[in-house]
Amino acid sequence: MADMSTEKNVQELLDLLSAKGNDTYFGEEVSVLEHCLQCAYFAEQSHASPSTIAAALLHDIGHILHDLPEDHTRQGKDGWHEEIGARYLSQWFDEAVTEPVRLHVAAKRYLCATDPSYIAKLSDASIESMKVQGGIMSSDEASAFAALPAATRAVQLRRWDEEAKIVDLKVPGLQHYLPILRAALMGAEADQV
């Protein structure tokens, strides 16, 4: 059974996401919340683990936490939302959740270097933001990325991230992910025993 602190932490995460539910998602047609819910939905459809589904749901939480304006990448600034998000989530989750989150921007730069069909799937906003995120990886950078333990899960997350911009797609709401987040949190606690 989940204890009180697990319940409190899960609720804090859901409250953060729902508070920003109507903010538009950086030049896309969907809101931040719709984007996060679609990303988690695609992860669940792919039979991903609770930790990976949690990472998909929470991968952009760094955007919600930092206070840069919505169009900050167009102004040539990078908010490092992946680092901010991973650090925030590491209060409660282990690397099974935090590493795919931390690497999901690097995964875009990696996929652009290694999959010729991928770049065509990127939205204009995503191509624009990559310029301030370091651009397409060199082959040395791509090899180093592929050797990271969480590389495969980060790449999976990135592909769902790209899909998760569909206007009016009907997907489960935040409450659906309560038991999945609890399982991911309990997994991290079990690792620490």
Footprint of Fe ion on this chain (CB under 5 A)?
Answer: 60, 161
If the CB atoms of residues 57 and 151 are measured against Fe ion, the closer one turns out to be: 57
Q: Please report how close the Cβ of residue 185 comes to Fe ion at its closest, in angstroms.
A: 22
If the CB atoms of residues 151 and 182 are measured against Fe ion, the closer one turns out to be: 151
Instruction: Report the alpha-carbon distance of residue 124 to residue 28 in Å, rounded.
Output: 9
Q: Please report how close the Cβ of residue 46 comes to Fe ion at its closest, in angstroms.
A: 16
Q: Please report how close the Cβ of residue 62 comes to Fe ion at its closest, in angstroms.
A: 10
If the CB atoms of residues 37 and 96 are measured against Fe ion, the closer one turns out to be: 37
Q: Please report how close the Cβ of residue 59 comes to Fe ion at its closest, in angstroms.
A: 6
If the CB atoms of residues 7 and 163 are measured against Fe ion, the closer one turns out to be: 163
The residue to which tokens 């030049």 are assigned: 27
Contact of 182 with 90, CB cutoff 8 Å: no
The DSSP symbol for 67 reads -
Q: Please report how close the Cβ of residue 70 comes to Fe ion at its closest, in angstroms.
A: 14
Q: In the bound complex, which residue of the shown chain has the CB atom lying closest to Fe ion?
A: 161
Tokens of 7: 């319940």
Instruction: Report the alpha-carbon distance of residue 110 to residue 89 in Å, rounded.
Output: 23
Instruction: Give the number of residues written for the chain.
Output: 193
Instruction: Report the alpha-carbon distance of residue 176 to residue 182 in Å, rounded.
Output: 11
Tokens of 151: 């590389």
- The rounded Cα 158 to chain-centroid distance in angstroms is 8
If the CB atoms of residues 34 and 94 are measured against Fe ion, the closer one turns out to be: 34
Contact of 27 with 167, CB cutoff 8 Å: no
